[in-house]
Chain A
């Protein structure tokens, strides 16, 4: 019996560091992630008024979406559509890069889901957030 227990212990000891690293922090300080973060931060000042007006909402899949374009003057709608597309392209890149930076490209979808939840939680009062059934709810 004892050798078996010893084997188990050895196994546990071998496993511990792997589990421990997984429980620690995610790597988010790569140049690619920083570059994406910076462009998104710069873009936020342009998007913020549209979140506030309800034209753009925080979608449930970790992206943003044009919710009510009527809140934007006709001539500017195209530009806002472009902003939304650029933001979503950067967000997709961000989720992919985080998964990749941590050596698990297959985590992309889970990273996206985690972000989707946190974007929604952190959205400011007055902004629109899409709930689980796809409806827009004002925070």
Chain B
């Protein structure tokens, strides 16, 4: 009776476990860290476009020189 009871309990919980297991897999394998990626993108773009030291001025100057 006791063993049967235990099995019953586990069976009742198994969908939850399965669901958790599934979501765990999803978290590990597919989860894309969007916020971190955005932060990384910002850092790279700031460097490439030289946005941190008022790059607008040099860009405009170059424009004038080119013309």
Q: Which residues of A contact B (CB under 8 A)?
A: 1, 4, 7-8, 11, 15, 18-19, 22-26, 28, 33, 37, 40-41, 44-45, 48-49, 51-53, 94, 98, 104, 107, 110-111, 114-115, 117-119, 122, 124
Q: Which residues of B contact A (CB under 8 A)?
A: 9-10, 13, 17, 20-21, 24, 27-28, 31-51, 56, 58-60, 62-63, 66-67
Q: How far is B60's CA from A122's CA once the two chains are assembled, in angstroms? A: 16
Known: A4-B10, A124-B56. A118 touches B45 (CB 8 A): yes
Number of A-B contacts (CB under 8 A): 99
Which of B24, B28, B35, B40 interacts with A28 by CB under 8 Å? B40
Known: A114-B34, A114-B37. A119 touches B63 (CB 8 A): no
